[in-house]
Amino acid sequence: MSSLISIRNLTASVEGKEILKGLNLDIGPGEIHAIMGPNGSGKSTLSNVLAGRENYQVTGGEVLFEGRDLLALAPEERAREGIFLAFQYPVEIPGVSNVYLLKAAVNALRKHRGLPELDAMDFLTLVKQKMKSVEMNPEFLHRSVNEGFSGGEKKRNEILQMTLLEPKFAILDETDSGLDIDALKIVADGVNRLRNPERSMLVITHYQRLLDYIVPDYVHVLSGGRIVKSGGKELALELEERGYGWLETQPRAAAGRPA
């Protein structure tokens, strides 16, 4: 079966510092992959590179999305093709109300898919229904994007956007951090409702707990800018118990290097 997204030997740097050092990952349609790994190992860097943030320089390798060169696309084109990143730290945008963002995003996507724009009524009906599904108060529509939202509210807002945009490939970057137990279930339910045989997800987390709710097909460990171990969902349990110390985190020094 061919991959939805295929990452080959990807290297990337931020401000001249190499963070991703040859990363390989293939995700098939409908699969959920989890990535775990120590702080600073490059998980968010990978997310941002896939979403197209410009201050992350791709220095080598390639990413194919549905067989096409993803890295050649602008961030908005990637989103329209079906990539969605739920940010680890969603940015606050004072003055821009949530409803403007949602409308602009939904319309851009519909236009791209050759669908007519939704009229104001249909749009509101749709948004309110989706808000209900993630138990968000409709008053959040008229608040500025993420401004003054609690940590959990920000994460829920990300899931709301994902639910509206129905991406083909969603990256959830620590969407579970900052969520209380109830909110975690709401978010996980939202994610699970979106699961289907075509839609794939990359779930980045530090906690095995999330994976009880969103059960992954594969678990990978990202360390030092590379995937150093992959396994089934049991790997998460093992990591929870043993930490990362037992894994090989750096490439071995080349033979013959002077001691």
Partner 1 sequence: MNPALDRYLATGAALAARLPGSGLPWVRDWRERARRRLGELGLPTHRHEAWKYTSLAALEKQNFEPLASPGTVNDVAAWQLPGGAHRLVLVDGHFVPGLSDLGRLPPRSVVKSFADALAQVPYLLENVLGEGEEPDALAALNAALATDGVFIDLGDGVVVEQPIHVLYLSTAAGSMSTSRSLMLVGAGASATVVEEHLGLTAEAYFVNVRSEVRLAREARFEHLRLQREGTKAQHLGALRVRQAAGSQLISQAVAMGALVSRQDIATHFAEPDCQARLNGLYVLGGRQHADHYTTIEHASPRGTSRELYHGILDGHSRGVFTGRVLVAPHAVGTDAAQANHNLLLSREAEVDTRPQLEIYADDVKCSHGATVGQIDENMLFYLRSRGVGLDLARNLLLHGFAREVLEKIGVASVRERLEQLLIERLPEHENLEGIL
- Residues lying near ligand ATP in the complex (CB under 6 A) are found at 14-15, 17, 19, 37, 39-45, 88
Interacting residue with partner 1 among 100, 207, 213, 244 (CB under 8 A): 100
CA Rg value for the chain: 19
* Residue 49 engages partner 1 in binding (rule: CB under 8 A): no
Alpha carbons 42 and 225: distance in angstroms, whole number: 5
Q: Please name every residue paired with 10 in a beta bridge, in sequence order, or none if there are none.
A: 23
Residue 40 or 138 having the CB closest to ligand ATP: 40
* Least spacing, CB of residue 41 vs ligand ATP, in Å: 4
Instruction: Label residues 149-172 b or e (16+ Cβ within 10 Å = b).
Output: beebbbbbbbbbbbbbbebbbbbb
* Least spacing, CB of residue 177 vs ligand ATP, in Å: 9
Residues 43-82 that bind Mg ion (CB under 5 A): 43-44
Spell out the residues 6+ positions from residue 192 whose beta carbon is closer than 8 angstroms to its own.
213, 214
Residue 44 or 157 having the CB closest to ligand ATP: 44
Q: List the single partner that 45 binds among Mg ion, ligand ATP, partner 1, none, CB under 5 to 8 Å by kind.
A: ligand ATP
Q: Which stretch binds partner 1 (CB under 8 A): 78-86, 124-132, 201-209, 212-220?
A: 78-86
Alpha carbons 126 and 78: distance in angstroms, whole number: 23
* Residue 101 engages partner 1 in binding (rule: CB under 8 A): yes
Token pair for 259: 């001691």
* Residue 184 engages partner 1 in binding (rule: CB under 8 A): no
Place of tokens 């940590």: 151
Alpha carbons 218 and 238: distance in angstroms, whole number: 13
Residue 227 and residue 25 in contact, taking contact as beta carbons nearer than 8 Å: yes
Token pair for 140: 């959040």
Q: Which residues bind Mg ion (CB under 5 A)?
A: 43-44, 88
Q: Which residues bind partner 1 (CB under 8 A)?
A: 51-55, 74-76, 78-80, 84-85, 87, 90-91, 93-97, 100-101, 103-105, 107-109, 112, 117, 144-145, 161, 165
